[in-house]
Amino acid sequence: MESLRLAVSHRPALPVPAPHNHLRRRHLHLHPSPNSLSLSVPISPRLGPTSRRHLPPILASASAASPAATPSPKPAAAAAGGGAKPIPLLISLAAGLAVRFLVPRPAEVTPQAWQLLSIFLTTIAGLVLGPLPVGAWAFLGLTATVATRTLPFTAAFGAFTNEVIWLIVISFFFARGFVKTGLGDRVATYFVKWLGRSTLGLSYGLAISEAFIAPAMPSTTARAGGVFLPILKSLSLSSGSKPNDPSAKKLGSYLIQSQLQASGNSSALFLTAAAQNLLCLKLAEEIGVKIANPWLTWLKVASLPAIVGLLVTPYLLYKIFPPEIKDTPEAPALAAQKLKNMGPVTRNEWVMIGTMLLAVSLWIFGETIGVSSVVAAMIGLSILLLLGVLNWEDCLNEKSAWDTLAWFAILVGLAGQLTNLGIVSWMSNCVAKVLQSFSLSWPAAFGVLQASYFFIHYLFASQTAHVGALYSAFLAMHLAAGVPAVLSALALTYNANLFGALTHYSSGQSAVYYGGPVAQAGYVDLPDVFKLGFTTAAINAVIWGVVGSFWWKFLGLY
């Protein structure tokens, strides 16, 4: 989920400014870059053409159109066509070749492992620099491992049977179900109705609604693009907060910032709230750190710092990045009208609710009854297909799901082979010796490693790519430095959620909020993106570091 290219075209709704009225098609289309999420958000067919033109902005899934936007610039942006970009290609190849032929191989590392490390480094450099789309570049790396006989074919493709990767793929289909049925939109609108009388209450309502649907919608990007972005735009425009205008700071800028920054805590609260969470625990298990009853253990360990973070973030941004509009008395009424026009809960929504309750129940209790997480997801998807909530074309159209299967399996497979061949343990021992030379205690080493893992993300344009590339190595470093195993594994995973809002390119949801029509239209200035990303990250680090430390001590993690 590297980035999203959003082209918005849908029906206008009063009082949308006149310049937008020429775009009248029926859907919000999110057109992905090759490694992004693809969603199509239908507007309710119950509303006829005449009635649609007279609905308040919040009544449409997205009420104001903007010109098609191109992706925001970022380090990993890949060329759309014309082959590989020469300079990123040369730099990426040079990184691996330098290690292979110029850096002396340590005696304890085998030639096969050293050669695989060089290919892996070239692959990671390409993820950062983007000579080709991520999927294409990962395939080249996989080809190199087989062509040079570094790995046999079966070992190179072994991760394509990884259960967690298939669980991530199926999560894309669940997200499409939420969007297609309108269930996610309905839930968020209820929270706007209940809490939206003030700007601060509105931001809390949206943040809490995301946390509410997060455990059953395992994609932060899907929640952002399919549910919350249209609502945020509608609320902003209905309050006179216009893009490319001084009025942008009336409401739109604050709501975008608050929702993005709070989403990291929502994703960290539940194991099934984000794809990278599931991958982290799988990678930890491969290193020997197994967490019993993972769904409940995760929730118990994350609950207090995540809830505090959710409560603090909107208020913090309200103080350091205040909106000009403090009260939004019209929002609850507009939300109530929207719910009225949506009508009663549809059959497909009830099916979606029942299926997600079943899936979450199996995720929670599956270990007790012998049902794995991926089997629970497969059962849920099968129900949605059998009852017609989704059809196979919906699944095929989720190109980003299949793209993720390809490049993610390659990256995880290479990282796993590095672990098997001893590279990860060798690197972790080297880092541990350096930390020991400074006479650092394990809590100090824990802080240094966590901070390093966090700020390295400035080089990555995907949370999952970052996890696949570095999680195993950093976890091994923690263990070598004497940090308790379960604490190390979970803290790194929570960290992987919090750094998703650092920049406009740091995650799929950042690309939705900053790289889509909202940011392109002028709601958020780039300096604010970096300043607030860093500031909020520092506050979250304090919350998770201080509140988490006391909570985790109470739970006996150390």
Q: What is the mean pLDDT of residues 375-383?
A: 95
Residue 108 domain-assigned (yes or no): yes
Residue 20 domain-assigned (yes or no): no
Is the domain of 134 the same as that of 247?
A: no
Q: What is the mean pLDDT of residues 191-214?
A: 92
How many residues does this entry show for the chain? 558
Residue 448 domain-assigned (yes or no): yes
Helices (H), 370-441: 373-386, 392-397, 399-420, 423-437
Domain's final residue, options 133, 161, 189: 161
Determine the Cα–Cα distance for residues 380 and 363; give it in Å rounded to an integer. 11
Q: Which residues contact 535 (CB under 8 A, 6 or more apart)?
A: 320
Name the 3-class secondary structure at 133: coil
Q: So what's the pLDDT on residue 486?
A: 96
pLDDT in tens, 318-360: 999 999 999 988 889 889 999 999 999 999 999 999 999 999 9
Higher pLDDT, 65 or 494: 494
Is the domain of 145 the same as that of 218?
A: no
Is the domain of 437 the same as that of 544?
A: yes
Q: What is the mean pLDDT of residues 76-90?
A: 71
Q: State how beta strands 27-32 and 4-8 pair.
A: antiparallel
Residue 272 domain-assigned (yes or no): yes
Q: So what's the pLDDT on residue 87?
A: 94
Q: So what's the pLDDT on residue 404?
A: 84
Is the domain of 214 the same as that of 150?
A: no
The 10 Å CB-count burial string (b at 16+, else e) for 151-187 is beeeebbbbeebebbbbbbbbbbbbbbbbbbbbbbbb
Residue 199 pLDDT greater than 50, yes or no? yes
- Residue 262: what are its φ and ψ, rounded to 5°? -75, -25
pLDDT in tens, 10-58: 333 333 333 333 333 333 333 333 333 333 333 333 333 333 333 333 3
Residue 13 domain-assigned (yes or no): no
Q: What is the mean pLDDT of residues 230-241?
A: 85
Q: So what's the pLDDT on residue 311?
A: 94
Sign of CA dihedral 91, 402, 453, 292: negative
pLDDT in tens, 264-304: 999 999 999 998 898 899 899 988 999 988 999 999 999 99
Determine the Cα–Cα distance for residues 155 and 336; give it in Å rounded to an integer. 56
Q: Which structural domain range is residue 116 located in?
A: 102-161
Q: So what's the pLDDT on residue 38?
A: 34
Q: How far is the CA of 193 from the CAs of 64, 307, 323, 337, 341, in angstroms?
A: 21, 22, 20, 10, 14
Partner residues linked to 42 by β-bridges: 27
Sign of CA dihedral 465, 468, 474, 475: positive
Partner residues linked to 327 by β-bridges: 198
Reported as a pLDDT band with limits 50, 70 and 90, residue 2 is very low
Residue 348 domain-assigned (yes or no): no
pLDDT in tens, 421-469: 988 888 888 888 888 888 889 999 999 999 999 999 998 878 888 998 8
Is the domain of 484 the same as that of 547?
A: yes
Reported as a pLDDT band with limits 50, 70 and 90, residue 521 is very low
Q: What is the mean pLDDT of residues 483-499?
A: 95
Higher pLDDT, 538 or 136: 136
- On average, the pLDDT of the chain sits at 82
Q: At how many degrees (to 10) do helices 442-455 and 526-542 cross? A: 160
Residue 504 pLDDT greater than 70, yes or no? yes
Q: So what's the pLDDT on residue 52?
A: 34
Is the domain of 215 the same as that of 141?
A: no
- Determine which of 62-71, 265-274, 351-360, 369-378 has the lowest per-residue pLDDT on average: 62-71
Is the domain of 523 the same as that of 449?
A: yes
Residue 543 pLDDT greater than 90, yes or no? yes
The 10 Å CB-count burial string (b at 16+, else e) for 192-219 is bbebbbbbbbbbbbbbbbbbbbbbbbbb
pTM confidence score: 0.76
Is the domain of 154 the same as that of 271?
A: no
Q: So what's the pLDDT on residue 522?
A: 56
Q: What total of structural domains would you count in the chain?
A: 2
Residue 525 domain-assigned (yes or no): yes
Is the domain of 315 the same as that of 245?
A: yes
Q: What type of residue sits at position 501?
A: A
Is the domain of 147 the same as that of 258?
A: no
Q: So what's the pLDDT on residue 164?
A: 82
Is the domain of 139 the same as that of 217?
A: no
Q: So what's the pLDDT on residue 28?
A: 34
Element counts in the chain: helices (H) and strands (E): 26, 3
Reported as a pLDDT band with limits 50, 70 and 90, residue 515 is low
Sign of CA dihedral 408, 410, 413, 419: negative
Q: So what's the pLDDT on residue 557?
A: 93
In the block, residue with structure tokens 């020469």: 86
Is the domain of 269 the same as that of 124?
A: no
Residue 31 domain-assigned (yes or no): no
